[in-house]
Amino acid sequence: MRKKMSPLKTAPERWLMFAVVFAATALSWTAMATAGQVPATGQTTCWDSAGAVIPCAGTGQDGDIQAGAKLRYKDNGDGTITDKNTNLTWEKLSADGSIHDRSNSYSWADALAVHVAGLNKANFAGHNDWRLPNVKELQSIVNYQNFAPSVSSAFNNNCVAGATVLTGSCTVGNGYWSSTTYTYAPAGAWFINFIDGDVNVGSKSSFFIQVRAVRGGL
């Protein structure tokens, strides 16, 4: 004889199942809403036209509105940082003379053929799909509240001499290559200046600047 499925016998049991399903759905909605937002700039201070700090309330400035998803990062403990908004995983930089050293600089071609290729050959952090970020990806980790370097603390802490990607996190206030070519003059490519978060163009062959590799994403 075929057995029947046992129904929930009491009202409390039915309400408990409803609550579990509702909570799971709410969490899913929250994750989807956060994932769909552009990352915030990180700016929380407001200034007047003369450059003096003023209260933000009612100004309509970025520091008042703070639109976008709050900047959130996770140090994965393996030399990488994951952006919890974009799901991009970033290479940490160091001060130890290794391939990750913050002072290493490259032409655009070598950023791809030397730095990124070197990470993939070494299977850095257990992955071989590292790449040069596009300009929008790279700009997403700028924190416009900070200056020289214009990043959140996840990307710049305990950066002492000899710090590895496991013991520190370094960012030099300089340009970092993106993979995005400047179409008006294709001998150039876009880069982000992490002194102040400015977006610039540099010669692919004559500019030698920093690199931070990325993998994954939405």
Residue-wise pLDDT tens digits, 73-106 = 999 999 999 999 999 999 999 999 999 999 999 9
Per-residue pLDDT at 36: 60
Q: What's the distance, CA 139 to chain centroid?
A: 8
135 CB neighbour count, 10 Å cutoff: 20
Residue 27 tokens, joined: 């969490």
Residue-wise pLDDT tens digits, 63-73 = 999 999 999 99
Predicted confidence band at 217 (pLDDT cuts at 50, 70, 90)?
confident
- Average of per-residue pLDDT values in the chain: 88
CA neighbours within 13 Å on the CB side: how many for 54?
A: 14
Report field, pTM of the whole predicted structure over 0.85: no
Residue 23 tokens, joined: 């909570």
